[in-house]
Amino acid sequence: MAITMETVKKLRQKTGAGVMDCKKALQETGGDIDKAVEYLREKGIAAAEKKAGRTAAEGLVGSYIHMGGKIGVLIEVNCETDFVAKTEEFKALVHNLAMQVAASQPDYVSREDIPGEIIDREKSILRQQALEENKPEHVIEKMVEGRLEKFFENVCLLEQPFIKDTDQKVRELLKENIAQLGENIVINRFSRFAVGEEE
């Protein structure tokens, strides 16, 4: 199937990838735009993994105020250079992440940030729930693991479905931006404030 410039342009608009990458993705997927997006995402994520170990000491503190000043978020997102920190793409990412925190109320950036005793307590609660449902022992462990994943999705920013595209997790959004901007990007910390909520 011939790959037209129109199709390449459409794919570029969707992914922000370069012309040659878009052409290759379309050739590999028989001109199917959705499959090409997936192909680029996989390749981008593979490239992003290589950048993940690099030091990210620049970046921005972003803010988002919602609902007439009833909810506010401050978030620090780091990258490798001041140049990338000043790009519109990076600023948009920081803004979207602040909105995500406002909407989805995570407690931690990643599952690695959760203290061991909190995970142990959660496992114990989930195990007790499964026992009360009279499930056999071999099923209980699988239920606990599955429900623990759901717990991580609720409390960890990186595990949450992205509010603007729920088919994508925040972790994948981050990797996509790492691939696109060519630098390691790290969500360092955030604080969410809501009027009337106690610490």
With 0.75 as the threshold, say if the pTM is over it.
no
For residue 147, the number of C-alpha atoms closer than 13 Å in the C-beta half-sphere is 16
Number of neighbours of residue 46 by Cβ within 10 angstroms:
11
CA-closest candidate to residue 58, choices 89, 90, 88? 90
- Listed by start position, the domains of the chain span 5-51, 58-110+156-194, 115-154
Over residues 33-68, the pLDDT tens digits come to 888 878 877 776 545 556 666 666 788 999 999 878
| Helix H or strand E segment including 167 | strand 165-169
pLDDT digits 0-9 by tens, 9-21: 777 766 666 667 7
CATH class of 115-154: mainly alpha
Closest by CA position to 93, among listed 109, 113, 76? 76
* Cβ pair 110, 158 in contact under 8 A: yes
As a whole number of angstroms, the distance between CA 115 and CA 90 comes to 30
Nearest to 93 by CA among 172, 12, 193, 191: 172
- Statement: 5-51 belongs to CATH 1.10.8.10: yes
Give the model confidence (pLDDT) of 116-167 as tens digits.
999 999 988 888 888 888 777 788 888 888 889 999 999 999 999 999 999 9
